[in-house]
């Protein structure tokens, strides 16, 4: 009876439940998901869920916290790297889009239930932070002359993030094809369009 396995098994159950919750939320949506669905998916009695989480909402909150934060951290590290802004934007797009490939259920939940819905009102800060990173990339680009200065960086971050979010939603809802090629092309496209539109040579209209 190795001590390590005990702690691990315990933590394992928590993880197990969280992962089961992601799958169930992805499949049926948060509201339509019952606690018993999650427990059944995890193969445990539903009472156990209440050992680890206080409520259904707490489950969603934990899914969000323990995954979104990792995502934000990754994006943040890109923003703090030395790449030129356009390459940074590309990497951010890559991270978000690849996360769909790796963990489609998770992305589905994050996109449909957390980011957009009001279910996790208190968690807004975290979400805002992800825009902030993009915003800073834009600001840096404006500082070094690679991004036109007549664009509000905050709005630019919304445009960029919204474009990717819509693509994710398209895949999530099965409206867009999602082969590896499709993902790669989408990544290129969104960067081409947004980074292109942000490029300075090209101060089309007003401000």
- Given the rule CB under 8 A, which residues bind a second copy? 29, 31, 111-112, 116-118, 124, 128, 150-152, 154-156, 158-167, 169-170, 173, 175-176, 185-186, 188-199, 201-202, 204-207
Should residue 32 be labelled a site residue for DNA when binding is judged by CB under 7 A? yes
Least distance (Å) from DNA to the CB of residue 8?
11
d(CA 126, CA 72): 8
Q: Which C-beta is closer to DNA: that of 62 or that of 74?
A: 62
Cβ-contact 138, 151 below 8 angstroms? yes
**Binder among 35, 71, 154, 163 for DNA (CB under 7 A):** 35
**Could you say which of a second copy, DNA, none residue 44 binds, taking C-beta under 5 to 8 angstroms by partner kind?**
DNA
Should residue 11 be labelled a site residue for DNA when binding is judged by CB under 7 A? no
**Could you say which of DNA, a second copy, none residue 188 binds, taking C-beta under 5 to 8 angstroms by partner kind?**
a second copy
Should residue 55 be labelled a site residue for DNA when binding is judged by CB under 7 A? yes
d(CA 199, CA 41): 48
* SS3 readout for the chain: CCHHHHHHHHHHHHHHHHHHHHHHHHHHCCCCCCHHHHHHHHCCCHHHHHHHCCCHHHHHHHHHHHHHHHHHHHHHHHHCCCCCHHHHHHHHHHHHHHHHHHCHHHHHHHHHHHHCCCCCHHHHHHHHHHHHHHHHHHHHHHHCCCCCCCCCHHHHHHHHHHHHHHHHHHHHCCCCCCCHHHHHHHHHHHHHHHHHHHCHHHCCCCC
Q: Which C-beta is closer to a second copy: that of 80 or that of 193?
A: 193
**Could you say which of a second copy, DNA, none residue 164 binds, taking C-beta under 5 to 8 angstroms by partner kind?**
a second copy
Q: Which C-beta is closer to DNA: that of 48 or that of 95?
A: 48
**Binder among 18, 22, 41, 56 for DNA (CB under 7 A):** 56
Should residue 188 be labelled a site residue for DNA when binding is judged by CB under 7 A? no
Residues that bind DNA (CB under 7 A): 1, 6, 9-10, 13, 32-36, 44-48, 50-52, 54-57
């Amino acid at each position: 009876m190795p001590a390590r396995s005990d702690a691990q098994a315990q933590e394992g159950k928590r993880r197990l439940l969280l992962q089961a919750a992601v799958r169930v939320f992805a499949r049926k949506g948060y509201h339509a998901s019952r606690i018993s669905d999650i427990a059944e998916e995890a193969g445990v009695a539903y009472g156990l869920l209440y050992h680890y989480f206080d409520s259904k909402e707490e489950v969603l909150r934990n899914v969000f916290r323990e995954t979104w934060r990792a995502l934000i951290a990754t994006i943040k590290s890109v923003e703090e790297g030395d790449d030129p802004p356009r390459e940074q934007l590309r990497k951010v797009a890559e991270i978000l889009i690849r996360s769909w490939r790796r963990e489609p259920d998770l992305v589905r939940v994050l996109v449909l239930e957390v980011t957009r819905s009001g279910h996790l009102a208190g968690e807004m800060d975290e979400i805002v932070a992800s825009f902030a990173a993009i915003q800073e990339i834009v600001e840096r680009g404006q500082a070094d002359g690679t991004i036109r200065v007549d664009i509000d960086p905050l709005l630019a971050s919304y445009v960029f993030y919204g474009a990717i979010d819509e693509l994710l939603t398209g895949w999530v809802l099965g409206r867009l094809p999602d082969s590896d090629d499709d993902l790669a092309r989408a990544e290129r496209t969104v960067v081409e369009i947004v980074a292109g539109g942000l490029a300075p040579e090209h101060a089309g209209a007003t401000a």
